[in-house]
Amino acid sequence: MGCWARCRSSTTSTTPSSTSSAWPSRRRSSSATGGGNFDAALRELGRKGMRDFLGSTAGKTFLSFSIKDPRRSLTNLPVLFRTVASYGSRAVEWRGPRHCHIVMKRDFLPPAYHEGAFQALMEFLHLRCVEVTGQVTGALDSEYELRWQ
């Protein structure tokens, strides 16, 4: 059953991810992920990092400008990333009212980490039926699709 079908029958968020990347996708035993794989551990680190940031003074300031408007929050993601990283560039392109495309260039963190971070932000904004997918487009470049209902 796909995300959209599950959403109609449930109010919980789901995140199918299809990260095909140059990053290693080795299976590792991890107590943090309950025996999950390496990408799952990276997603959890991304979720934790975003939750910690949103709880900080800078994160609360970021949210104070856009908490009631998810589109505005996601449009301002490049500003959020400039707050925490001095390298790389990010751009957000809207492909529909609830669908954005994010391009990251010269970013050292693996796509699974960012997928977890985007998922945490979207959950914090109380968006339903969240779908986050990422893919590598170059050595330090990646793109992400964020959708919700």
**pLDDT (tens digit, 9 = 90+) per residue, 52-94?**
999 999 999 888 887 788 999 999 999 889 888 999 999 999 9
Query: Which comes out higher in pLDDT, residue 17 or 104?
Result: 104
How far is residue 119 CA from its own chain's centroid?
4
DSSP state of 20: B
3-state secondary structure (DSSP) of residue 66: coil
Q: CA-to-CA distance for 111 and 75, rounded, in angstroms? A: 19
- Please, what is the average pLDDT of the chain? 82
Domains delineated in the chain:
38-147 (3.90.1520.10)
How confident is the model at residue 22, as a pLDDT? 46
Residues forming beta bridges with residue 101, ordered by sequence position: 93, 145
Is the torsion defined by CA of 127, 133, 138, 139 positive or negative? positive
* pLDDT (mean) for 22-36: 42
Strand ranges across the sheet with 89-96: 89-96, 99-105, 141-147, 131-138
| Model confidence, pTM | 0.77
Confidence of residue 113 (pLDDT cuts 50, 70, 90): very high
- Look at residue 11 and give its three-state secondary structure: coil
Task: Name the residue among 112, 98, 113, 77 with its Cα closest to residue 149.
Answer: 98
Q: Higher pLDDT residue, 64 or 43?
A: 43
Q: Residue 7: which pLDDT band, with cuts at 50, 70 and 90?
A: low
More confident residue, 87 or 32: 87
Q: What is the DSSP string of 67-120?
A: TT-HHHHHHTHHHHHHHH-SS-EEEEEEEETTEEEEEEES--S-HHHHHHHHHH
Q: What is the pLDDT of residue 142?
A: 97
- CB of 105 within 8 A of CB of 97? no
